[in-house]
């Protein structure tokens, strides 16, 4: 495992065992801790680091925007300081409710034949994901590299994309921004802030995670009750800070391809303007080798499947 990398679970107010915080079911050989604003009654093998009072007071004075949604960005900000103070070069941040990891992509050859590769894991692939994300940071100019959410889009043959990443990501501590803020939308604000600094945030497209949906799981633990209470107001600060790139609203359909829409339920929707900084790649071969190692270790190709489409001619027209 990499001695220059610290893994931090960001967690607060989810007391109990890994049943409440499924991220802790994953095997993590890298140095790892929980950073929390409130870890009362946590039962865990992970070391718990509480945000100090002086940092809390400083963060509230400088960056707090609301009464309910500042804990997570404060914890994320303290994780950056903690990792730097302890001599780490890279920091991986994890939400505490990740329940599975997905490795999936589609490879299309020159003959036009596509092969799909996939692996789903709830225990053992976390260290592989961590090493891949850090490998990307080492070999690009990105300051943030993360994973996508399974079910939000179909697999592709892409490798890197400039996108918003959250829940499972790595930071290059030598160039990344110091502070998360923006309350509910601190993930979006952080990427936009990196963009202002000329630092791209990238998604490693084959790496995905899943976690319970807020509405479908009826999960109101952690900070989710505040999200529910805020409704469309959860985006008000982002509209003020970055109104040229950010809008939001409510709609009757859930996000992604995997979530089940519940009749009569309104879902919060981000509306983000696409934009890019530009990713410079220093060593593509190194990243390819690392990804191939992960595929060889974990993923298997789907069984061959052929799709035949028959064309019919009706009234002189092909259908």
Residue 302: pLDDT band with limits 50, 70, 90 = low
Domain boundaries, the chain: 5-301
Name the architecture of domain 5-301.
Answer: Alpha-Beta Complex (3.90)
DSSP string computed for 192-214: HHHHHTT--EEEEEEEEEE---H
Nearest to 13 by CA among 51, 46, 40, 49: 40
* 83, pLDDT greater than 80: yes
Residue 107: pLDDT band with limits 50, 70, 90 = confident
pLDDT at 150: 86
CA distance 42 to 40: 6
Give pTM, 2 decimals: 0.82
What pLDDT, in 10s, does the model give residues 20-78? Answer: 999 999 999 999 999 999 999 999 999 999 999 999 999 999 998 777 778 999 999 99
């Amino acid at each position: 495992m990499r001695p220059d990398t610290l893994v931090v679970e960001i967690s607060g107010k989810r007391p109990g065992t890994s049943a409440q915080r499924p991220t802790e079911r994953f095997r993590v050989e890298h140095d790892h801790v929980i950073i929390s604003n409130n870890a009362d009654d946590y039962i865990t093998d992970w070391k718990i680091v509480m945000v100090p009072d002086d940092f809390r007071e400083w963060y509230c004075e400088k960056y707090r925007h609301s009464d309910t949604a500042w804990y997570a960005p404060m914890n994320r900000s303290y994780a950056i300081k903690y990792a730097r103070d302890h001599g780490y070069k890279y920091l991986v941040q994890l939400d505490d409710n990740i329940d599975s990891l997905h490795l999936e992509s589609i490879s299309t050859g020159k003959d036009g034949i596509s092969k799909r590769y996939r692996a789903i894991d709830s225990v053992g692939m976390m260290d592989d994901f961590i090493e891949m994300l850090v490998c990307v940071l080492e070999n690009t100019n990105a300051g943030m590299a993360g994973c996508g959410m399974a079910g939000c889009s179909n697999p592709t043959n892409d490798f890197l994309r400039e996108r918003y990443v959250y829940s499972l990501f790595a930071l290059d501590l030598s160039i990344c921004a110091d502070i998360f803020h923006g309350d509910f939308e601190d993930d979006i604000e952080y990427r936009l802030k990196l963009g202002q600094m000329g630092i791209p945030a990238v998604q490693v497209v084959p790496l995905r995670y899943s976690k319970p949906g807020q509405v479908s799981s009826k999960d109101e633990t952690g900070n989710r009750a505040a999200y529910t209470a805020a409704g469309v107001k959860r985006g008000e600060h982002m509209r003020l800070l970055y109104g040229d790139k950010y809008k939001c609203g409510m709609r009757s359909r859930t996000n992604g391809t995997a979530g089940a829409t519940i009749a009569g339920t309104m879902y919060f929707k981000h509306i983000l303007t696409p934009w890019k900084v530009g990713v410079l790649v220093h060593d593509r071969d190194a990243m390819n080798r690392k990804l191939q190692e992960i595929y060889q270790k974990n993923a298997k190709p789907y069984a061959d499947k052929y799709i035949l489409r028959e064309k019919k001619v009706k009234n002189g027209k092909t259908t």
